[in-house]
Structure 1
């Protein structure tokens, strides 16, 4: 992984089905990631995050720390409004010594269909086709993770950050590079949408290594090795990664 001097590795992070309280899947966060409490008050969260960032990255400029906290909270609020069940941010030291930040979001999408229509490979394939049609300039592919089939999309997106967050009158234009994975669930109809984004396009190749490690850790197995039963359909197989 990229960083060795950041936040320690977190415990495997579950996303839970609201009806059962049982995690749909688990995944590991590498060192350098700070998971947000989505139920926490916004002001309290920003203060806590600032307190966490300051001692961990003493050589970062005040502007870097402010950008991480303020823009991170803005993106976090947007993701919460979009139904995010997990959001974490990272501040990593890259191979050239520069500090870099990025955000990870996980959303569980649950279609209103019965289990008999579950087709994991078909879902991933249809999503890849849809993404290609929506974003013709993006890099779109159908891949196989240890957890199972997934659609992948890498693209650049222009955003306007509210200038008021930084004490400015005008919005701040920025370009975000993001990679998203649509991972059909093994536990029933629905998919986990993993979205990883950063403004630091210069270090994108290093970030792909970080994201690859996260996605390879996705598993239906709990950390102690106990497995949840997968849905009974021929697409629910595949090699499982131990979390």
Structure 2
């Protein structure tokens, strides 16, 4: 798998709405990830995605590129409507010069009231129990990240994408594989939900490596600008983000 982005890291952050407007956590995105302005006009966003797809995968069939852009935009709009603090899309070149795309979003959830110092381990365990009940066919567990304990859920989700987006009368079925981490916050009650989705199930193992690097980079401290280690996975560099 080859990243199609710049070979530098990008810092991202995410935060719940607060008077202090201080990011709850930071994380790094590998090359190939393109972050979106949540207030950007959808048409403008789709045009940028189409331009990126054309420049990186000139040899791909037009129908394939069109389907990828439209499906990606539908998922992005769904995540933004759900209250995402961060949304980004990645374009990766798989063996055989095959086009592959995935979407990452981060949603910060804070209760209106609660103790300042939450039981983070208990919170993660409760989330895992809830996910097992909601998604009996999913792979659910607990993982220990450098940031702290988190609940993990991997499952397949069947979607019906509105056919009007493709100029069709009927909806278009799509199966997404989704990995989500619920990370209890250090900054107070609540959690950050990292959700990654892709239709490219054939290359799921490569995406797991990329997501592993992103989650290992999660930190409560703003990066100081030093060079950061590359995420595990082919040609994976990083980009710092806030949550």
TM range (shorter): 0.7 to 0.9
**Residue 5 of structure 1, CA deviation:** 3.5
1:37-116 → structure 2 map (5 Å cutoff): 37-116=37-116
1:160 counterpart SS class: strand
Residue aligned with 1:131, SS: helix
How far apart in 1 are the matches of 2:211 and 2:95?
A: 16
Conservation of the 8 A alpha-carbon contact between 1:9 and 1:29? no
Which digits, 9 at most, give the CA deviation of each residue in 1:14-47, with x for residues without a partner?
A: 1123211111111111111111111111112212
CA RMSD of aligned residues (A): 1.8
TM-score, normalised via structure 1 length: 0.87
How many angstroms apart in 1 are the aligned matches of 2:118 and 2:16?
16
Per the TM alignment, residue 83 of structure 1 is displaced from its structure 2 partner at its CA by 0.3
CA displacement at 1:3 relative to structure 2: 2.1
Partner of 2:230: none
Q: Deviations over 1:54-89 (max 9, x none)?
A: 212222222232122211111111111100111111
* Equivalent position of 1:236 in the other structure: none
Uncovered stretches (5+) of structure 1, i.e. residues with no partner: 227-242
| Residues in 2 aligned to 1:64 and 1:223: alpha-carbon distance in whole angstroms | 38
Please name the residue that 1:193 is paired with: 193
Q: CA deviation at 1:170?
A: 0.6
Counterpart in the other structure of 1:178: 178
Partner in structure 2 of residue 238 of structure 1 = none
1:153-189 Cα offsets, whole Å, 9 max, x none, are 0011111011111111110111111010000011111
Q: Secondary structure at the match of 1:84?
A: coil
Q: Distance in 2 between matches of 1:193 and 1:116?
A: 19
Which residue of structure 1 lines up, in the alignment, with residue 132 of structure 2? 132
Q: Distance in 2 between matches of 1:164 and 1:4?
A: 32
Match of 2:79, SS? helix
Listed as ranges, the gaps of 5+ residues in structure 2 are 227-239
Match of 2:145 in 1: 145
Q: CA, structure 1 residues 4+175, in 2 after alignment: closer, same or farther (shift >3 Å)?
A: closer
3-state SS of paired residue (2:86) = strand
Pairs aligned (count) = 226
User: Quick check: 1:218 aligned with 2:218?
Assistant: yes
Structure 2 equivalent of residue 208 of structure 1:
208
Deviations 1:93-121 (A, max 9, x none): 12453221111111001112223461111
Q: CA deviation at 1:52?
A: 2.6
- Residue aligned with 1:141, SS: strand
4+ runs of 1 displaced by more than 3 Å? 4-10
